[in-house]
Chain A
């Protein structure tokens, strides 16, 4: 039982490059979320999804796009990376209820 798996774990990008972060969960959760974690800022919600085929903006969506074509996968895209997007990105999923989230292990992204 893998839970929530994020790939890649680490990545260095040059300014202007694009990339996609993959989040996969095997718990049949309806809800999935992308957060970024920055020192002194806590975790801030980028985008989220309440089910297959749905996406919605969170607190800091600018510069990111997402897709949820399959229930188990939630993709986060950076079309043109900027140094301000250097961060640790966490994916999470939750069941339709109040059980809290299951987090992935994070992706450490550096944009130079």
Chain B
């Protein structure tokens, strides 16, 4: 079975502060990890995937297989980063995504 845990439902930071959204996973095989972002009442958008090791909108995430984590980080938060963030795991041949329950990030001015 695959499981994704996002321990923080809510995270509030001030503009310019560093932000880290935590994600831990459970999967017996070799997973693929993603971060999705959902701005207010919009569709989910792919933010990052671990295989591409890219930085989008200043966000980065590193897969740590030893700690089974895929935390999302940004050194300087911006107000436009306020959104719901979902960590997701894909395992197996049918490419099903298992989502965490999400973290609502609020960046205060």
Contact = CB atoms under 8 A, between A and B. Distances in A.
Contacts of B46: 100-102
Given A42-B101, A45-B96, A98 B51 contact: yes
A50 interface: yes
Interface residues of B, number: 22
B86 A42 contact: yes
A103 B99 contact: no
B20 to A, nearest CB: 19
Given A43-B86, A98-B32, A98-B51, A90 B96 contact: no
29 contacts: A31-B95, A33-B97, A35-B99, A40-B9, A40-B101, A41-B101, A42-B6, A42-B86, A43-B44, A43-B99, A45-B97, A45-B98, A48-B94, A56-B94, A97-B95, A98-B32, A98-B49, A98-B51, A98-B90, A98-B95, A100-B46, A101-B44, A103-B43, A103-B44, A103-B45, A104-B43, A105-B42, A105-B43, A106-B43
Interface of A: 31, 33, 35, 40-45, 48, 50, 56, 58, 90, 92, 94, 96-106
